[in-house]
Structure 1
Amino acid sequence: MRRGIAATALAASLALVATACGDDGDGGSAGGPVKITWWDTSNATNEAPTYKALIKEFEKAHPDIDVEYVNVPFDQAQNKFTTAAGTKGAPDVIRTEVGWTASWAKSQFLAQLDGTAALPKPEDFTPSLLKQAQYEGATYGAPIVTDTLALLWNKDLLKKAGHDAPPADWDELMDIAADVEDKAGADGFWVNSDPYYTLPFLFGEGTDMVDAEAGKITVDSPAAVTGVEKLKEIVDAPGTADLDVTADAYAHMQDAFVNGKVAMIIQGPWELTNIYAGSAFTHKSNLGIAPVPAGSTGEAGAPTGGHNLSVYNGSDEAHQEAAKEFVGWMTSARTQSKIARANGTLPTRASAYTDEVTAAPGIADYQQVLADTAQPRPSLPEYSTLLGDDFAQNLTAILQGDTSVADGLDDTAGKFAELVPDFA
């Protein structure tokens, strides 16, 4: 839909709701603004201030729309929105992780965005990112940021250990990690046992948790066993930090890396702001960003992540039109460029990669990693659910030595069969 047509439709719907709702405090009485709510799942400390500032810009440019900003912790958002949507109490706009979008579209919680003000110039989006926002051929999310996992490395620590370049494969990573421990007095590598961070070990063996096209569960395949066996080998190797499976493991990993206590981690661009604020990276050039190491196939792979902005399907026309206008503005190239410069995140529109954006520390490096090794997630609504507690618990048992790799992955496959019963 062209912007002029969208604006006309929005104005008409604002007038309609003003007539229908009266002075209910939520929608345009006597020409007042429509009030929409946005649940944002970004980091409340480092990212949210940017979004709050952008809302003020949007409201100034769109006096007929007020936006109520609510920051919802990422680890609570999926369950919270699912519950709210089922009771007609969801926000007008939700920042949805790419893995949630298809699932919520399947449940009819989200409005279609094709041909609306939410998706101006869809051809400018990276095609694979737009595809991840679709379900059964329709688009239910506007990509706002993208990401992937990369190997982050402390150049000073590797140099002290006699290495000027990052490892190309997992075996080389173990060698370098041992040298860092021996010569630099720090841990060489930190293993994050979360299933999402385990995907590079599967991708490096040419497999995934499932083969969506074939309708087959592959988390217990020989290739997957090989990948997780390599992960277990790294956990037990000299130079690897002690496995942390506490509730605060992620924070402990970040603290160790930013303060120079560990030389290498696997991480996404969403932590760049925090990392550059750490004592080990006072000089930003000390941070190395490289593709994740390759598996035995010689290939490296990491999941394509990111977030979309989606519109709740259960509100009235006026609120949906206002929400779509907001989504289109927030995911425009101009706005994405501002977000990237402020938060160190990767835009989803090609035209948002301006000279200023690519000059920002870390952005060009991650953009290259995204092009080289990122793999789009399969078009499967249940994919993000497969990365949940059952897989996590089995991985913990495997890495702690409480069960074998084969038995742990077999048990995971059995749990997957309950989530995707049509898969073999």
Structure 2
Amino acid sequence: MRRGISVAATVGALALAATACGGGSGSDGGDGSRAAKDPGSVTGTVTWWDTSNEAEGPAYKKLIQDFQAQYPKIKVEHVPVSFDAAEQKFKTAAQSGKGAPDVLRTDVGWTAGFANLHYLQPLDGTVALDNAGDFLDGPMATAKYKGQTVGVPQVTDTLALLYNKELFERAGIAKPPTTWAEFTETAKTIKERTGVAGTQLNPEGYFSLPFLYGEGGDMLDVDNKKITVNSPQAVKGIETALELVNSGVSLKPATTDGYTTMQTAFKDGKVAMVINGPWSTADDFSGAAFKDKANLGIAPVPGAAAGKGAAPIGGHNYTVYRGSKNKDAAYLFVKFMTSAKSQEYTATELGTLPTRKSAYTEKVLADPVKKAFQEALNSSRARPMIPGVGDLFVSFDQHYVKVLRGQLSPKEGMDALAQDWRSKLLKDYRIDGS
């Protein structure tokens, strides 16, 4: 997927989620003891809603076959579900108590919302969460809500600095920048020496987060119920992004579909650097600039100082429906699908990034893209784990593009964004400094 957030969420859902309650709890199913003590005796049918794309289907079908060979008394009903429709479809089924799957491939941005509505089964102490210490910290943080583990990380992603090595060489630049000041200077040097734009920014709020994080800022302080997107640190990060545009080293952000515009310019060699995720690299390699795949450089995002950069985490978790009547079978299925062996298989077959440390095997790391993004994951962080976090980005996108196009100053834009969140979505939060 293009971003680690769901854009299908409806504005206002966050405020409703706090008071909504889950319907149709159904049978409690197994308590997990049978799956732990005598997994071979577990029977039942696991209905799995798979929100991956059609091209990934065959690899998951192969894993299902392997699972059923290991557990012949368990049948898996594999149901492909459109990613764009899955969030609301699951809510509708869970609320009515009819038709919800036993297991759902859940975007990390949905997990807290589903848990808040009491639709997800806590997984601590079950075999679904096998060898929990093997999971990377960032992806594991996306699977927790209010002290409980309500998902098991399936795949992950983050943002990194992608750059054109040939343009760097032509400009006499030996290595990628590690700070935003270096990034700006690198972009200027490339523009001056090659005539090619140093960068182009995607004017979506999600892609602004490395600028916020790099200055020590964030969207929210969840523990203290405070909106911090307009803090001095966050504003400084947005000022850095705006300076890239105002200085002329970045192409002007597009007013519509900024992602595609940025991506096309990069793969065609019209810009030297972009901030993007691992999902974009297959498209990069289809462009004129990266016919030689070795020309694509990947490095962690810069920060205010070297080693201080950070980027948001995306990806998906496996979650178990609280009303499932096949919990023991569901736990075993999730355990199998998130094992290091299964993650190594999907990483090599589909190009996904594993969530387990032990899945980064020699075979997986033979791919330079995965090796580079593994390093980038070391400085990634989970977005605020609150219900409806995707709703925040609707307004974020609107205000960030106004800043980049000079319609609002960074402080004006972030102050207006904070007020918008407070009035519509986060009524029980206070604004930083208030």
Asked if Structure 1 and Structure 2 have the same fold, meaning a TM-score greater than 0.5 normalized by the shorter chain, the answer is yes
Write the letter of the residue equivalent to 1:350.
Answer: K
Across the aligned residues of Structure 1 and Structure 2, the Cα RMSD in angstroms comes to 2.5
Structure 1 pair 171–4 and aligned structure 2 pair: CA distance change class (3 A): closer
Contact 1:146 1:305 in 2 (8 A): yes
Equivalent of 1:132, from 123, 134, 142? 142
Q: Which has the higher contact order (CA 8 A, sep 6+)?
A: 2
Write the letter of the residue equivalent to 1:385.
Answer: D
Q: Which residue is 2:202 aligned to?
A: 192
Q: Which residue is 1:420 aligned to?
A: 426
Deviation at 1:194, TM superposition (A): 1.3
Which moves more between the two structures, 84-93 or 396-405? 84-93
Equivalent of 1:376, from 382, 386, 392? 382
Which moves more between the two structures, 119-128 or 76-85? 76-85
Q: 1:104-119 maps to which residues of 2 (within 5 A)?
A: 104-119=114-129
Matched, 1:392 2:397: yes
Matched, 1:404 2:409: yes
Q: Secondary structure at the match of 2:316?
A: strand
Write the letter of the residue equivalent to 2:360.
Answer: Y
Q: Secondary structure at the match of 1:385?
A: helix
Equivalent of 1:7, from 15, 39, 44? 39
Structure 1 pair 114–292 and aligned structure 2 pair: CA distance change class (3 A): same
Write the letter of the residue equivalent to 2:426.
Answer: V
Q: Which residue is 2:227 aligned to?
A: 217
Contact 1:52 1:69 in 2 (8 A): no
Write the letter of the residue equivalent to 2:297.
Answer: G
Q: Which residue is 2:213 aligned to?
A: 203
Deviation at 1:233, TM superposition (A): 1.5
Write the letter of the residue equivalent to 2:227.
Answer: I
Deviation at 1:203, TM superposition (A): 0.8
Contact 1:176 1:188 in 2 (8 A): yes
Contact 1:48 1:71 in 2 (8 A): no
Q: 1:322-333 maps to which residues of 2 (within 5 A)?
A: 322-333=329-340
Residue ranges of structure 1 left out of the alignment (5+ in a row)? 15-33
Contact 1:284 1:361 in 2 (8 A): no
Q: Which residue is 1:346 aligned to?
A: 353
* Runs of 4 or more above 4 Å deviation: 1-4
Matched, 1:365 2:372: yes
Which moves more between the two structures, 107-116 or 189-198? 107-116
Write the letter of the residue equivalent to 2:127.
Answer: A
Normalised TM-score (structure 1): 0.85
Deviation at 1:182, TM superposition (A): 4.0
Deviation at 1:296, TM superposition (A): 6.7
CA distance in structure 1 between the aligned counterparts of 2:394 and 2:307, rounded to whole angstroms = 30
Matched, 1:38 2:44: no
Contact 1:44 1:71 in 2 (8 A): no
Deviations 1:293-319 (A, max 9, x none): 22379821212332211122233x13x
Matched, 1:336 2:343: yes
Q: Secondary structure at the match of 1:86?
A: helix
Contact 2:108 2:315 in 1 (8 A): yes
Write the letter of the residue equivalent to 1:5.
Answer: K
Contact 2:46 2:103 in 1 (8 A): no
CA distance in structure 2 between the aligned counterparts of 1:101 and 1:170, rounded to whole angstroms = 32
Structure 1 pair 356–325 and aligned structure 2 pair: CA distance change class (3 A): same
Contact 1:201 1:227 in 2 (8 A): yes
Q: 1:220-259 maps to which residues of 2 (within 5 A)?
A: 220-246=230-256, 248-259=257-268
Q: Which residue is 1:17 aligned to?
A: none
Deviation at 1:239, TM superposition (A): 2.8
Deviation at 1:60, TM superposition (A): 4.0
Percent sequence identity over matched residues? 43
Contact 1:149 1:266 in 2 (8 A): yes
Structure 1 pair 381–206 and aligned structure 2 pair: CA distance change class (3 A): same
Deviation at 1:382, TM superposition (A): 4.6
Matched, 1:284 2:293: yes
CA distance in structure 2 between the aligned counterparts of 1:235 and 1:130, rounded to whole angstroms = 36
CA distance in structure 1 between the aligned counterparts of 2:101 and 2:210, rounded to whole angstroms = 34
Deviation at 1:222, TM superposition (A): 1.7
CA distance in structure 2 between the aligned counterparts of 1:392 and 1:244, rounded to whole angstroms = 12
CA distance in structure 1 between the aligned counterparts of 2:60 and 2:267, rounded to whole angstroms = 25
Which moves more between the two structures, 253-262 or 282-291? 253-262
Deviations 1:53-89 (A, max 9, x none): 333433444443133231423x444344334433334
Q: Secondary structure at the match of 2:182?
A: helix
Normalised TM-score (structure 2): 0.83
Deviations 1:233-262 (A, max 9, x none): 21223231221131x332332233223232
Deviation at 1:379, TM superposition (A): 4.0
Residue ranges of structure 2 left out of the alignment (5+ in a row)? 1-31
Which moves more between the two structures, 295-304 or 207-216? 295-304
Deviation at 1:265, TM superposition (A): 0.9
Q: Secondary structure at the match of 2:94?
A: helix
